C-alpha cells in the first residue's frame, strides 16, 4: 500500500457518505452477518467485530483467523474511538507526515494500531456510536471489506 492524499481523500468521502440514521444491537447483528457472509464468500481468514466503547455487539472468527486478529481488532478499534476516523485514514495521515502514532501522539502502538480495517459507525445527529472492524487480510482489503458491507447494509436497510 502506498499512502497518497488521493487515498486519504477517498476514505474521508466514505466516512462522510456512510452515516446511518439509526444503529443498535439489532443493526450490529445485521451488519455483522453481512460481513460474515462476504468474508465466507471470499474464504477470508478473518475475525469480525462490531463494538461500542466497552461493549462488544458482534464478534465472529472465521476459519484461519487467530487470537492475534482479536488483538489487532482491539488496537484498531482504539484508534477509531480516540481519533474519530477510520484506522486506515489515521495510518495514511501518519505515513504522509513521515511519522508514527507513538511519535506524534505519544500513545503506545501496543494499544493503538493505525492500520486499515476499523471504520467508525456514525449516526446522524449523534456522531460515532460504534466501530466495525475486520482483521486478517492486508490492511487495505480489511478496510474495503468493512466499507463494502456498510454500503450493502445501508442500501438494503434504508433504500
Tell me, what CATH number does 145's domain have?
3.30.450.150
Residue 127 Ramachandran class (φ > 0 left, ψ -120 to 50 alpha, else beta): left
Which pLDDT does position 3 carry in this prediction? 82
Question: Which SS3 state, helix, strand or coil, does residue 155 take?
Answer: helix
CB 78 within 8 A of CB 112: yes
Helix or strand (DSSP H, E) at 33: helix 25-41
Return d(Cα 98, Cα 80) in angstroms, integer. 20
Q: Write phi, then psi, for 8 (nearest 5 degrees).
A: -60, -40
Per the structure, the count of domains in the chain is 1
The per-residue pLDDT for 157 is 87
Beta-bridge partners for 61? 47
Which domain covers residue 86, as residue numbers?
Answer: 5-157
Integer CA distances (angstroms), 90 to 5, 29, 97, 100, in order:
12, 27, 11, 10
pLDDT in tens, the chain (159 residues): 788 999 999 999 999 999 999 999 999 999 999 999 999 999 999 999 999 999 999 999 999 999 999 999 999 999 999 999 999 999 999 999 999 999 999 999 999 999 999 999 999 999 999 999 999 999 999 999 999 999 999 999 887
pTM exceeding the 0.75 threshold for the entire prediction: yes
Q: Please report which helix (H) or strand (E) contains residue 153, including its range.
A: helix 139-157
Per-residue pLDDT, 2: 84
pLDDT for residue 158: 82
Dihedral, 156, 137, 143, 155 alpha carbons, nearest 10: -10
pLDDT at residue 58, rounded to an integer: 98
What is the pLDDT at residue 33?
Answer: 98
**Residue 54 CB-density burial (10 A; 0-12 exposed, 13-18 middle, 19+ buried):** exposed
Amino acid at each position: 500500500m502506498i499512502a497518497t492524499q488521493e487515498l486519504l481523500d477517498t476514505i474521508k468521502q466514505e466516512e462522510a457518505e456512510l452515516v446511518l440514521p439509526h444503529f443498535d444491537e439489532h443493526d450490529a447483528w445485521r451488519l455483522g452477518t453481512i460481513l460474515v457472509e462476504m468474508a465466507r464468500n471470499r474464504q477470508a481468514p478473518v475475525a469480525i467485530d462490531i463494538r461500542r466503547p466497552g461493549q462488544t455487539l458482534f464478534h465472529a472468527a472465521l476459519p484461519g483467523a487467530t487470537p492475534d486478529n482479536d488483538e489487532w481488532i482491539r488496537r484498531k478499534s482504539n484508534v477509531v474511538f480516540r481519533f474519530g476516523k477510520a484506522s486506515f485514514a489515521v495510518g495514511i495521515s501518519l505515513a504522509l507526515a513521515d511519522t508514527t502514532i507513538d511519535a506524534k501522539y505519544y500513545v503506545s502502538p501496543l494499544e493503538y494500531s493505525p492500520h486499515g480495517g476499523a471504520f467508525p459507525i456514525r449516526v446522524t445527529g449523534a456522531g460515532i456510536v460504534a466501530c466495525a472492524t475486520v482483521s486478517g487480510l492486508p490492511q487495505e482489503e480489511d478496510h474495503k471489506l468493512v466499507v463494502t458491507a456498510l454500503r450493502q447494509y445501508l442500501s438494503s436497510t434504508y433504500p
